[in-house]
Homo-oligomer: A and B are copies of this chain.
Amino acid sequence: MGSAGPGRPCETPVGEGIRRTRRTPVAAAVPVWSVDPRTGKQRERVADEATAADVDAAVRAAHQTLPALADRGTRVAFLRAAAKRLEADGERIVATADAESALGGTRLTGELARTTGQLRAFADEVEDGGYLDVIIDHADPALTPPRPDLRRYKLPLGVVAVYAASNFPLAFSVPGGDTASALAAGCPVVVKAHPDHPATSALCAAALRAGAADAGLPEDVVSVVHGFDAGVELVRHPLVSAAGFTGSVKGGRALFDAAAARPRPIPFHGELGSLNPVVVTREAVAERAEQIGEGLGGSMTLGTGQFCVKPGLVLVPEGADGDRMLDKLAGTLRAATPGHLLDDRMRDAFLAGVTERSALRQVAAPVAAGVGEDARTVRPGLFTIRAAELGEEHALLLEECFGPVSVVVRYADEAEIESVLDAMDGSLTATVHLSSAEAAGDADAAALLTRLTKIAGRVLVNGWPTGVAVAPAQHHGGPYPATTSTSTSVGATAIERWLRPVAFQDTPEALLPEELRDDNPLGLPRRVDGVRE
Protein backbone atom coordinates (compact mmCIF):
# COMPACT_ATOMS: atom_id res chain seq x y z
CA MET A 1 0.00 0.00 0.00
CA GLY A 2 1.96 3.01 -1.21
CA SER A 3 1.05 6.49 -0.13
CA ALA A 4 -0.54 8.90 -2.58
CA GLY A 5 1.75 9.13 -5.59
CA PRO A 6 1.46 10.01 -9.23
CA GLY A 7 -1.75 9.03 -10.92
CA ARG A 8 -5.14 10.62 -11.22
CA PRO A 9 -5.45 14.13 -9.82
CA CYS A 10 -7.17 14.54 -6.50
CA GLU A 11 -10.42 15.67 -7.99
CA THR A 12 -10.87 12.36 -9.76
CA PRO A 13 -14.40 11.18 -9.03
CA VAL A 14 -14.75 8.09 -6.92
CA GLY A 15 -16.27 4.91 -8.27
CA GLU A 16 -13.86 4.45 -11.16
CA GLY A 17 -13.93 0.79 -10.37
CA ILE A 18 -17.62 0.67 -11.14
CA ARG A 19 -17.63 2.71 -14.30
CA ARG A 20 -15.96 0.92 -17.13
CA THR A 21 -12.30 1.85 -17.08
CA ARG A 22 -10.89 2.95 -20.42
CA ARG A 23 -7.74 1.01 -20.95
CA THR A 24 -4.94 2.67 -22.88
CA PRO A 25 -3.58 0.49 -25.69
CA VAL A 26 -0.39 0.08 -23.66
CA ALA A 27 -1.39 -1.73 -20.46
CA ALA A 28 -0.44 1.07 -18.07
CA ALA A 29 -1.19 0.31 -14.43
CA VAL A 30 -4.48 1.86 -13.28
CA PRO A 31 -4.07 3.05 -9.70
CA VAL A 32 -6.68 2.33 -7.06
CA TRP A 33 -7.17 5.22 -4.65
CA SER A 34 -8.69 5.33 -1.22
CA VAL A 35 -10.96 8.39 -1.09
CA ASP A 36 -12.46 10.21 1.88
CA PRO A 37 -16.16 10.82 1.18
CA ARG A 38 -16.22 13.60 3.79
CA THR A 39 -13.82 15.65 1.66
CA GLY A 40 -13.79 13.94 -1.71
CA LYS A 41 -9.99 13.87 -1.44
CA GLN A 42 -7.77 10.93 -2.24
CA ARG A 43 -6.25 9.42 0.91
CA GLU A 44 -3.74 6.97 -0.47
CA ARG A 45 -2.95 4.85 -3.47
CA VAL A 46 -3.75 1.34 -2.31
CA ALA A 47 -3.05 -0.87 -5.29
CA ASP A 48 -3.35 -1.13 -9.04
CA GLU A 49 -6.39 -2.50 -10.79
CA ALA A 50 -5.92 -6.18 -11.55
CA THR A 51 -5.20 -7.07 -15.16
CA ALA A 52 -6.59 -10.20 -16.76
CA ALA A 53 -3.28 -11.89 -15.98
CA ASP A 54 -3.54 -10.81 -12.34
CA VAL A 55 -7.04 -12.25 -12.05
CA ASP A 56 -5.94 -15.48 -13.68
CA ALA A 57 -3.01 -15.77 -11.27
CA ALA A 58 -5.24 -15.09 -8.25
CA VAL A 59 -7.81 -17.69 -9.31
CA ARG A 60 -5.17 -20.31 -10.08
CA ALA A 61 -3.44 -19.70 -6.77
CA ALA A 62 -6.78 -20.01 -4.98
CA HIS A 63 -7.60 -23.21 -6.86
CA GLN A 64 -4.33 -24.73 -5.67
CA THR A 65 -5.48 -24.37 -2.06
CA LEU A 66 -8.59 -26.55 -2.46
CA PRO A 67 -6.93 -29.71 -1.08
CA ALA A 68 -5.55 -27.82 1.93
CA LEU A 69 -9.04 -26.47 2.70
CA ALA A 70 -10.59 -29.94 2.60
CA ASP A 71 -9.99 -30.65 6.28
CA ARG A 72 -12.89 -29.45 8.44
CA GLY A 73 -10.85 -29.05 11.60
CA THR A 74 -8.34 -26.83 9.82
CA ARG A 75 -11.14 -24.66 8.46
CA VAL A 76 -12.63 -24.24 11.93
CA ALA A 77 -9.24 -23.13 13.25
CA PHE A 78 -8.79 -20.81 10.28
CA LEU A 79 -12.15 -19.07 10.66
CA ARG A 80 -11.51 -18.48 14.36
CA ALA A 81 -7.95 -17.31 13.75
CA ALA A 82 -9.21 -14.92 11.06
CA ALA A 83 -11.70 -13.45 13.54
CA LYS A 84 -8.88 -12.95 16.06
CA ARG A 85 -6.63 -11.33 13.47
CA LEU A 86 -9.41 -8.91 12.50
CA GLU A 87 -9.94 -8.02 16.13
CA ALA A 88 -6.22 -7.58 16.69
CA ASP A 89 -6.11 -5.02 13.90
CA GLY A 90 -9.58 -3.76 14.76
CA GLU A 91 -8.75 -0.17 15.65
CA ARG A 92 -6.89 0.43 12.42
CA ILE A 93 -9.56 -1.38 10.37
CA VAL A 94 -12.37 0.67 11.90
CA ALA A 95 -10.48 3.94 11.49
CA THR A 96 -9.64 3.15 7.88
CA ALA A 97 -13.18 2.02 7.08
CA ASP A 98 -14.52 5.21 8.63
CA ALA A 99 -12.10 7.34 6.66
CA GLU A 100 -13.17 5.63 3.44
CA SER A 101 -16.90 5.28 4.09
CA ALA A 102 -17.88 8.03 6.58
CA LEU A 103 -20.07 5.46 8.29
CA GLY A 104 -18.77 6.41 11.72
CA GLY A 105 -16.68 4.61 14.30
CA THR A 106 -19.56 3.34 16.41
CA ARG A 107 -21.37 1.71 13.54
CA LEU A 108 -18.14 0.25 12.14
CA THR A 109 -17.05 -1.09 15.54
CA GLY A 110 -20.40 -2.86 15.69
CA GLU A 111 -19.97 -4.06 12.14
CA LEU A 112 -16.56 -5.50 12.95
CA ALA A 113 -18.02 -7.37 15.92
CA ARG A 114 -20.75 -8.68 13.68
CA THR A 115 -18.17 -9.75 11.11
CA THR A 116 -15.96 -11.62 13.56
CA GLY A 117 -19.05 -13.12 15.18
CA GLN A 118 -20.12 -14.32 11.75
CA LEU A 119 -16.77 -15.97 11.09
CA ARG A 120 -17.06 -17.76 14.43
CA ALA A 121 -20.66 -18.73 13.76
CA PHE A 122 -19.60 -20.40 10.52
CA ALA A 123 -16.77 -22.14 12.37
CA ASP A 124 -19.44 -23.52 14.72
CA GLU A 125 -21.49 -24.70 11.73
CA VAL A 126 -18.49 -26.48 10.23
CA GLU A 127 -17.82 -28.12 13.58
CA ASP A 128 -21.46 -29.16 13.86
CA GLY A 129 -21.30 -30.75 10.40
CA GLY A 130 -25.03 -30.64 9.77
CA TYR A 131 -24.38 -28.65 6.60
CA LEU A 132 -22.89 -31.79 5.04
CA ASP A 133 -26.44 -33.13 4.88
CA VAL A 134 -25.32 -36.74 5.26
CA ILE A 135 -27.90 -39.29 4.14
CA ILE A 136 -27.16 -43.01 4.23
CA ASP A 137 -29.38 -45.71 2.77
CA HIS A 138 -28.12 -49.22 3.27
CA ALA A 139 -28.58 -51.77 0.54
CA ASP A 140 -31.94 -53.51 0.45
CA PRO A 141 -31.75 -56.70 -1.62
CA ALA A 142 -35.39 -57.49 -0.84
CA LEU A 143 -36.64 -54.59 -2.97
CA THR A 144 -37.54 -54.91 -6.67
CA PRO A 145 -35.15 -53.90 -8.13
CA PRO A 146 -32.68 -54.49 -5.26
CA ARG A 147 -31.53 -51.17 -3.82
CA PRO A 148 -27.79 -50.58 -3.69
CA ASP A 149 -26.00 -48.98 -0.76
CA LEU A 150 -26.14 -45.18 -1.24
CA ARG A 151 -24.42 -42.52 0.86
CA ARG A 152 -24.58 -38.84 0.15
CA TYR A 153 -22.88 -35.77 1.49
CA LYS A 154 -21.71 -32.44 0.16
CA LEU A 155 -18.44 -31.23 -1.31
CA PRO A 156 -17.16 -27.70 -1.95
CA LEU A 157 -17.83 -26.35 -5.44
CA GLY A 158 -14.39 -24.83 -6.00
CA VAL A 159 -13.11 -21.25 -6.17
CA VAL A 160 -15.79 -18.69 -5.26
CA ALA A 161 -15.81 -15.12 -6.57
CA VAL A 162 -17.15 -12.61 -4.04
CA TYR A 163 -18.24 -9.11 -5.07
CA ALA A 164 -18.03 -6.76 -2.10
CA ALA A 165 -20.75 -4.27 -1.21
CA SER A 166 -20.28 -0.53 -0.90
CA ASN A 167 -22.37 -0.06 2.22
CA PHE A 168 -20.85 -2.68 4.52
CA PRO A 169 -17.07 -2.33 4.27
CA LEU A 170 -16.70 -5.32 6.60
CA ALA A 171 -19.81 -7.48 7.02
CA PHE A 172 -20.63 -7.71 3.30
CA SER A 173 -17.14 -7.17 1.93
CA VAL A 174 -13.75 -8.90 2.10
CA PRO A 175 -14.28 -10.64 5.47
CA GLY A 176 -18.09 -10.72 5.17
CA GLY A 177 -20.76 -13.36 4.95
CA ASP A 178 -20.09 -14.51 1.41
CA THR A 179 -16.39 -15.00 2.13
CA ALA A 180 -16.99 -16.60 5.53
CA SER A 181 -19.61 -19.03 4.24
CA ALA A 182 -17.55 -19.98 1.19
CA LEU A 183 -14.44 -20.63 3.27
CA ALA A 184 -16.56 -22.58 5.75
CA ALA A 185 -17.75 -24.74 2.85
CA GLY A 186 -14.14 -25.40 1.86
CA CYS A 187 -14.07 -23.03 -1.11
CA PRO A 188 -11.14 -20.65 -1.67
CA VAL A 189 -12.26 -17.08 -2.32
CA VAL A 190 -11.16 -14.30 -4.64
CA VAL A 191 -12.86 -11.06 -3.62
CA LYS A 192 -13.47 -8.24 -6.06
CA ALA A 193 -13.03 -5.34 -3.65
CA HIS A 194 -15.46 -2.45 -3.73
CA PRO A 195 -13.86 0.80 -4.95
CA ASP A 196 -15.34 2.66 -1.98
CA HIS A 197 -13.02 1.01 0.52
CA PRO A 198 -9.86 -0.39 -1.05
CA ALA A 199 -7.66 0.33 1.96
CA THR A 200 -10.08 -1.42 4.32
CA SER A 201 -10.21 -4.32 1.87
CA ALA A 202 -6.43 -4.61 1.90
CA LEU A 203 -6.29 -4.60 5.72
CA CYS A 204 -9.03 -7.20 5.98
CA ALA A 205 -7.44 -9.40 3.35
CA ALA A 206 -4.17 -9.24 5.26
CA ALA A 207 -5.96 -10.28 8.45
CA LEU A 208 -7.71 -13.20 6.76
CA ARG A 209 -4.50 -14.34 5.11
CA ALA A 210 -2.65 -14.12 8.43
CA GLY A 211 -5.45 -16.19 9.97
CA ALA A 212 -4.94 -18.77 7.25
CA ALA A 213 -1.23 -18.93 8.01
CA ASP A 214 -2.02 -19.26 11.73
CA ALA A 215 -4.07 -22.35 10.90
CA GLY A 216 -1.35 -23.79 8.67
CA LEU A 217 -3.17 -22.97 5.44
CA PRO A 218 -1.72 -21.27 2.38
CA GLU A 219 -2.57 -17.57 2.40
CA ASP A 220 -4.01 -17.78 -1.08
CA VAL A 221 -7.23 -19.28 0.29
CA VAL A 222 -8.34 -15.63 0.16
CA SER A 223 -7.16 -12.86 -2.08
CA VAL A 224 -8.42 -9.54 -3.34
CA VAL A 225 -8.52 -7.97 -6.79
CA HIS A 226 -9.48 -4.40 -7.66
CA GLY A 227 -11.18 -2.90 -10.70
CA PHE A 228 -14.32 -3.24 -12.77
CA ASP A 229 -12.65 -5.22 -15.54
CA ALA A 230 -11.18 -7.58 -12.96
CA GLY A 231 -14.70 -8.29 -11.71
CA VAL A 232 -15.84 -9.24 -15.18
CA GLU A 233 -12.77 -11.40 -15.77
CA LEU A 234 -13.41 -13.12 -12.47
CA VAL A 235 -16.97 -14.28 -13.18
CA ARG A 236 -15.84 -15.61 -16.55
CA HIS A 237 -12.78 -17.48 -15.31
CA PRO A 238 -13.05 -21.23 -16.04
CA LEU A 239 -11.80 -22.16 -12.56
CA VAL A 240 -14.36 -19.99 -10.78
CA SER A 241 -17.22 -22.24 -9.67
CA ALA A 242 -19.73 -19.85 -8.13
CA ALA A 243 -20.17 -16.21 -7.26
CA GLY A 244 -21.67 -14.12 -4.48
CA PHE A 245 -22.61 -10.49 -5.01
CA THR A 246 -24.11 -7.61 -3.04
CA GLY A 247 -24.79 -4.42 -4.94
CA SER A 248 -26.94 -2.71 -7.51
CA VAL A 249 -29.54 -4.23 -9.81
CA LYS A 250 -27.64 -3.03 -12.86
CA GLY A 251 -24.21 -4.31 -11.83
CA GLY A 252 -25.56 -7.52 -10.35
CA ARG A 253 -27.67 -8.35 -13.36
CA ALA A 254 -24.72 -7.80 -15.72
CA LEU A 255 -22.62 -10.25 -13.72
CA PHE A 256 -25.52 -12.70 -13.38
CA ASP A 257 -25.88 -12.62 -17.15
CA ALA A 258 -22.16 -13.20 -17.60
CA ALA A 259 -22.29 -16.17 -15.19
CA ALA A 260 -25.22 -17.68 -17.09
CA ALA A 261 -23.59 -17.12 -20.48
CA ARG A 262 -20.40 -19.03 -19.67
CA PRO A 263 -19.72 -22.22 -21.61
CA ARG A 264 -20.25 -23.90 -18.22
CA PRO A 265 -22.67 -21.68 -16.31
CA ILE A 266 -22.07 -21.21 -12.59
CA PRO A 267 -24.40 -20.36 -9.70
CA PHE A 268 -24.62 -16.62 -9.13
CA HIS A 269 -26.01 -15.63 -5.75
CA GLY A 270 -26.63 -11.92 -6.04
CA GLU A 271 -28.41 -9.54 -3.72
CA LEU A 272 -29.43 -6.68 -6.01
CA GLY A 273 -32.16 -4.31 -4.87
CA SER A 274 -35.02 -4.16 -2.44
CA LEU A 275 -37.88 -1.79 -1.62
CA ASN A 276 -38.71 -3.37 1.79
CA PRO A 277 -42.35 -2.40 2.07
CA VAL A 278 -43.94 -1.63 5.42
CA VAL A 279 -47.67 -1.86 6.04
CA VAL A 280 -49.05 0.10 8.99
CA THR A 281 -52.58 -0.99 9.80
CA ARG A 282 -55.31 1.44 10.70
CA GLU A 283 -55.52 -0.04 14.20
CA ALA A 284 -51.78 0.14 14.71
CA VAL A 285 -51.57 3.80 13.78
CA ALA A 286 -54.55 4.56 16.00
CA GLU A 287 -52.70 2.89 18.86
CA ARG A 288 -49.20 4.35 18.49
CA ALA A 289 -48.88 6.82 15.62
CA GLU A 290 -45.96 8.74 17.11
CA GLN A 291 -43.98 5.67 18.07
CA ILE A 292 -44.26 4.24 14.56
CA GLY A 293 -43.42 7.57 12.94
CA GLU A 294 -40.34 7.97 15.07
CA GLY A 295 -39.25 4.36 14.55
CA LEU A 296 -39.58 4.70 10.82
CA GLY A 297 -37.57 7.90 10.81
CA GLY A 298 -34.79 6.14 12.70
CA SER A 299 -34.80 3.08 10.47
CA MET A 300 -34.81 4.91 7.15
CA THR A 301 -31.97 7.25 8.13
CA LEU A 302 -29.78 4.62 9.80
CA GLY A 303 -26.40 4.62 8.06
CA THR A 304 -27.67 7.63 6.06
CA GLY A 305 -30.27 5.39 4.47
CA GLN A 306 -27.66 3.17 2.87
CA PHE A 307 -29.02 -0.19 3.98
CA CYS A 308 -30.29 -2.77 1.53
CA VAL A 309 -33.10 -3.31 4.03
CA LYS A 310 -34.04 0.35 4.40
CA PRO A 311 -37.85 0.63 4.50
CA GLY A 312 -38.37 2.29 1.12
CA LEU A 313 -42.15 2.24 0.81
CA VAL A 314 -44.59 2.59 3.67
CA LEU A 315 -48.32 2.06 3.46
CA VAL A 316 -50.10 4.33 5.92
CA PRO A 317 -53.87 4.74 6.28
CA GLU A 318 -55.48 8.01 5.30
CA GLY A 319 -56.98 10.00 8.13
CA ALA A 320 -55.98 11.82 11.27
CA ASP A 321 -54.03 8.96 12.90
CA GLY A 322 -51.92 8.51 9.80
CA ASP A 323 -51.39 12.26 9.69
CA ARG A 324 -50.10 12.17 13.26
CA MET A 325 -47.68 9.41 12.34
CA LEU A 326 -46.41 11.40 9.38
CA ASP A 327 -46.05 14.55 11.46
CA LYS A 328 -43.87 12.67 13.90
CA LEU A 329 -41.91 11.12 11.05
CA ALA A 330 -41.43 14.52 9.41
CA GLY A 331 -40.22 15.97 12.69
CA THR A 332 -37.77 13.13 13.16
CA LEU A 333 -36.40 13.61 9.68
CA ARG A 334 -36.07 17.37 10.04
CA ALA A 335 -34.19 16.85 13.30
CA ALA A 336 -31.84 14.29 11.77
CA THR A 337 -28.22 15.26 11.18
CA PRO A 338 -27.33 15.37 7.49
CA GLY A 339 -24.86 12.63 6.59
CA HIS A 340 -22.26 11.72 4.00
CA LEU A 341 -23.07 9.12 1.41
CA LEU A 342 -20.47 6.50 0.57
CA ASP A 343 -19.14 8.24 -2.49
CA ASP A 344 -19.85 11.09 -4.88
CA ARG A 345 -21.45 8.82 -7.42
CA MET A 346 -24.02 7.68 -4.87
CA ARG A 347 -24.61 11.24 -3.74
CA ASP A 348 -25.24 12.28 -7.34
CA ALA A 349 -27.54 9.30 -7.87
CA PHE A 350 -29.44 10.07 -4.66
CA LEU A 351 -29.96 13.71 -5.54
CA ALA A 352 -30.98 12.81 -9.09
CA GLY A 353 -33.38 10.16 -7.77
CA VAL A 354 -34.95 12.65 -5.39
CA THR A 355 -35.33 15.25 -8.13
CA GLU A 356 -36.86 12.74 -10.50
CA ARG A 357 -39.38 11.57 -7.90
CA SER A 358 -40.22 15.14 -6.88
CA ALA A 359 -41.22 15.87 -10.45
CA LEU A 360 -43.87 13.14 -10.54
CA ARG A 361 -47.45 14.30 -10.53
CA GLN A 362 -49.46 13.87 -7.33
CA VAL A 363 -46.30 13.33 -5.32
CA ALA A 364 -45.78 15.59 -2.31
CA ALA A 365 -42.57 16.03 -0.36
CA PRO A 366 -43.47 17.09 3.20
CA VAL A 367 -39.76 16.90 4.00
CA ALA A 368 -37.54 17.61 1.02
CA ALA A 369 -34.44 15.46 0.78
CA GLY A 370 -31.44 17.25 -0.63
CA VAL A 371 -28.04 18.75 -0.01
CA GLY A 372 -27.12 19.50 3.60
CA GLU A 373 -25.50 22.66 4.95
CA ASP A 374 -22.14 21.03 4.42
CA ALA A 375 -22.55 20.62 0.68
CA ARG A 376 -20.99 17.15 0.83
CA THR A 377 -23.80 15.89 3.06
CA VAL A 378 -27.40 15.02 2.31
CA ARG A 379 -30.56 15.65 4.29
CA PRO A 380 -33.21 12.91 4.61
CA GLY A 381 -36.62 13.36 3.09
CA LEU A 382 -40.00 11.91 2.45
CA PHE A 383 -42.43 11.56 -0.44
CA THR A 384 -46.13 10.95 -0.10
CA ILE A 385 -48.81 9.96 -2.55
CA ARG A 386 -52.36 8.60 -2.29
CA ALA A 387 -52.66 4.94 -3.29
CA ALA A 388 -55.63 5.80 -5.50
CA GLU A 389 -53.41 8.13 -7.50
CA LEU A 390 -50.55 5.66 -8.04
CA GLY A 391 -50.35 4.97 -11.75
CA GLU A 392 -47.94 3.55 -14.28
CA GLU A 393 -46.19 6.91 -14.40
CA HIS A 394 -45.18 6.32 -10.77
CA ALA A 395 -43.22 3.12 -11.42
CA LEU A 396 -40.12 4.87 -10.11
CA LEU A 397 -41.69 5.11 -6.66
CA LEU A 398 -41.65 1.31 -6.53
CA GLU A 399 -37.90 1.20 -7.17
CA GLU A 400 -35.22 1.42 -4.52
CA CYS A 401 -33.71 4.90 -4.05
CA PHE A 402 -30.41 4.35 -2.23
CA GLY A 403 -30.09 6.91 0.55
CA PRO A 404 -32.23 8.48 3.29
CA VAL A 405 -35.58 8.84 1.56
CA SER A 406 -38.79 6.80 1.65
CA VAL A 407 -42.15 6.92 -0.05
CA VAL A 408 -45.31 6.92 2.04
CA VAL A 409 -48.40 5.70 0.23
CA ARG A 410 -51.67 6.61 1.91
CA TYR A 411 -54.36 3.97 1.54
CA ALA A 412 -58.10 4.17 1.99
CA ASP A 413 -58.82 0.47 2.44
CA GLU A 414 -57.41 -3.05 2.30
CA ALA A 415 -58.03 -3.31 -1.45
CA GLU A 416 -55.62 -0.43 -1.98
CA ILE A 417 -52.96 -2.15 0.13
CA GLU A 418 -53.38 -5.22 -2.02
CA SER A 419 -53.08 -3.33 -5.29
CA VAL A 420 -49.90 -1.57 -4.19
CA LEU A 421 -48.36 -4.88 -3.05
CA ASP A 422 -49.38 -6.42 -6.36
CA ALA A 423 -47.39 -3.81 -8.26
CA MET A 424 -44.17 -4.50 -6.35
CA ASP A 425 -41.14 -6.54 -7.25
CA GLY A 426 -39.54 -8.90 -4.75
CA SER A 427 -37.93 -7.55 -1.59
CA LEU A 428 -35.57 -8.77 1.08
CA THR A 429 -38.05 -7.86 3.80
CA ALA A 430 -41.65 -6.87 4.36
CA THR A 431 -42.88 -5.44 7.63
CA VAL A 432 -46.27 -5.00 9.18
CA HIS A 433 -47.19 -2.83 12.12
CA LEU A 434 -50.19 -4.17 14.00
CA SER A 435 -52.20 -3.10 17.00
CA SER A 436 -51.96 -5.17 20.18
CA ALA A 437 -55.35 -6.70 19.39
CA GLU A 438 -54.31 -7.61 15.86
CA ALA A 439 -51.02 -9.04 17.08
CA ALA A 440 -52.93 -11.24 19.49
CA GLY A 441 -54.27 -13.32 16.62
CA ASP A 442 -56.39 -11.35 14.17
CA ALA A 443 -57.26 -13.38 11.07
CA ASP A 444 -56.80 -10.46 8.68
CA ALA A 445 -53.39 -9.78 10.17
CA ALA A 446 -52.40 -13.42 9.66
CA ALA A 447 -53.60 -13.22 6.07
CA LEU A 448 -51.56 -10.07 5.53
CA LEU A 449 -48.45 -11.82 6.81
CA THR A 450 -49.07 -14.70 4.40
CA ARG A 451 -49.51 -12.18 1.60
CA LEU A 452 -46.19 -10.57 2.45
CA THR A 453 -44.30 -13.89 2.31
CA LYS A 454 -45.03 -13.93 -1.41
CA ILE A 455 -42.91 -10.83 -2.05
CA ALA A 456 -40.22 -11.02 0.62
CA GLY A 457 -37.80 -13.41 2.28
CA ARG A 458 -38.14 -12.00 5.79
CA VAL A 459 -41.39 -10.83 7.32
CA LEU A 460 -41.36 -8.70 10.45
CA VAL A 461 -44.06 -7.73 12.90
CA ASN A 462 -43.88 -4.42 14.80
CA GLY A 463 -40.20 -3.92 14.09
CA TRP A 464 -37.91 -2.37 11.51
CA PRO A 465 -36.03 -4.27 8.83
CA THR A 466 -32.69 -2.50 9.30
CA GLY A 467 -30.42 -4.74 11.30
CA VAL A 468 -30.02 -8.26 9.95
CA ALA A 469 -29.29 -10.59 12.84
CA VAL A 470 -26.67 -13.26 12.26
CA ALA A 471 -28.53 -16.37 13.40
CA PRO A 472 -29.14 -19.87 12.05
CA ALA A 473 -32.77 -19.05 11.18
CA GLN A 474 -31.95 -15.82 9.38
CA HIS A 475 -32.99 -15.51 5.74
CA HIS A 476 -31.54 -12.58 3.86
CA GLY A 477 -32.86 -13.03 0.34
CA GLY A 478 -36.11 -12.67 -1.54
CA PRO A 479 -37.80 -12.86 -4.92
CA TYR A 480 -35.97 -11.13 -7.77
CA PRO A 481 -34.52 -8.52 -7.81
CA ALA A 482 -33.94 -8.90 -4.06
CA THR A 483 -31.83 -11.93 -4.90
CA THR A 484 -30.98 -13.85 -8.07
CA SER A 485 -31.36 -17.21 -6.35
CA THR A 486 -33.47 -18.74 -3.60
CA SER A 487 -30.60 -18.63 -1.13
CA THR A 488 -29.57 -16.36 1.74
CA SER A 489 -26.36 -14.41 2.25
CA VAL A 490 -26.73 -14.25 6.04
CA GLY A 491 -27.30 -17.07 8.52
CA ALA A 492 -26.20 -20.66 8.79
CA THR A 493 -27.77 -21.82 5.54
CA ALA A 494 -25.68 -19.36 3.51
CA ILE A 495 -23.09 -22.15 3.40
CA GLU A 496 -25.38 -24.26 1.20
CA ARG A 497 -24.65 -21.98 -1.76
CA TRP A 498 -21.10 -23.24 -2.14
CA LEU A 499 -21.68 -26.98 -1.95
CA ARG A 500 -22.80 -29.76 -4.25
CA PRO A 501 -23.95 -33.22 -3.24
CA VAL A 502 -22.18 -36.41 -4.24
CA ALA A 503 -23.48 -39.94 -3.68
CA PHE A 504 -21.35 -43.05 -3.27
CA GLN A 505 -22.88 -46.31 -4.46
CA ASP A 506 -21.84 -49.71 -3.13
CA THR A 507 -18.54 -48.32 -1.94
CA PRO A 508 -16.62 -50.51 0.52
CA GLU A 509 -16.42 -49.02 4.01
CA ALA A 510 -12.64 -48.82 3.78
CA LEU A 511 -12.82 -46.55 0.74
CA LEU A 512 -15.56 -44.24 1.98
CA PRO A 513 -14.78 -40.76 3.27
CA GLU A 514 -14.98 -40.68 7.06
CA GLU A 515 -18.16 -38.58 6.82
CA LEU A 516 -20.04 -41.53 5.36
CA ARG A 517 -18.79 -44.48 7.38
CA ASP A 518 -21.23 -46.57 9.36
CA ASP A 519 -19.52 -45.97 12.69
CA ASN A 520 -19.77 -42.18 12.17
CA PRO A 521 -16.27 -41.42 13.48
CA LEU A 522 -16.87 -37.67 13.09
CA GLY A 523 -20.13 -37.72 15.04
CA LEU A 524 -22.10 -36.00 12.29
CA PRO A 525 -25.85 -35.42 12.37
CA ARG A 526 -27.25 -37.69 9.65
CA ARG A 527 -30.24 -39.55 8.30
CA VAL A 528 -29.69 -43.29 8.14
CA ASP A 529 -32.33 -45.50 6.53
CA GLY A 530 -34.86 -42.74 7.05
CA VAL A 531 -34.04 -42.15 10.72
CA ARG A 532 -32.37 -38.93 11.92
CA GLU A 533 -29.44 -39.53 14.25
Q: Interface on A for B, CB 8 Å cutoff?
A: 110, 113, 130, 133, 135-137, 144-145, 147-148, 150-152, 155, 157, 256-257, 260-261, 264-265, 267, 425-426, 439-442, 445-446, 449-450, 453, 456-463, 467, 469, 471-475, 477, 479-481, 484-486, 488, 491-493, 499-508, 510-511, 513, 525, 527, 530, 532
| Given A145-B467, A486-B500: A458 touches B532 (CB 8 Å cut-off) | no
What are 11 A-B pairs with beta-carbon distances under 8 A? Answer: A135-B473, A152-B491, A257-B260, A264-B481, A441-B510, A449-B507, A457-B502, A460-B506, A462-B506, A472-B527, A488-B501
Residue of B nearest to A486 (CB): B500
Residue of B nearest to A501 (CB): B475
Determine if B473 and A503 form an interchain contact, defined as CB atoms under 8 angstroms apart. yes
Partner of A472, one of B135, B492, B510: B135
| Closest-CB distance, A71 to chain B (whole angstroms) | 13
| Given A441-B511, A532-B532: A453 touches B155 (CB 8 Å cut-off) | yes
| Closest-CB distance, A458 to chain B (whole angstroms) | 5
| Given A453-B155, A527-B472: A503 touches B459 (CB 8 Å cut-off) | yes
Determine if B506 and A147 form an interchain contact, defined as CB atoms under 8 angstroms apart. no
Determine if B264 and A469 form an interchain contact, defined as CB atoms under 8 angstroms apart. no
Determine if B471 and A147 form an interchain contact, defined as CB atoms under 8 angstroms apart. yes
- With A264-B480, A459-B503 given, name 17 new contacts (CB 8 A): A137-B471, A147-B471, A256-B265, A257-B261, A260-B260, A440-B508, A441-B508, A441-B511, A446-B510, A449-B504, A458-B505, A461-B505, A472-B530, A475-B501, A475-B503, A486-B499, A525-B532
Query: Which residues on B sit within 8 Å (CB–CB) of A150?
Result: 469, 471, 473-474
Query: Which residues on B sit within 8 Å (CB–CB) of A508?
Result: 439-441, 461
Q: Copy number in this complex?
A: 2
| Closest-CB distance, A511 to chain B (whole angstroms) | 5
| Given A152-B474, A474-B150, A532-B532: A461 touches B499 (CB 8 Å cut-off) | no
Cα A513 to Cα B110 in complex, Å, equals 33
Cα A371 to Cα B450 in complex, Å, equals 60
* Best-surrounded residue of A150, A473, A493, A530 (most CB of chain B within 10 A): A473
| Closest-CB distance, A92 to chain B (whole angstroms) | 22
Cα A136 to Cα B471 in complex, Å, equals 9
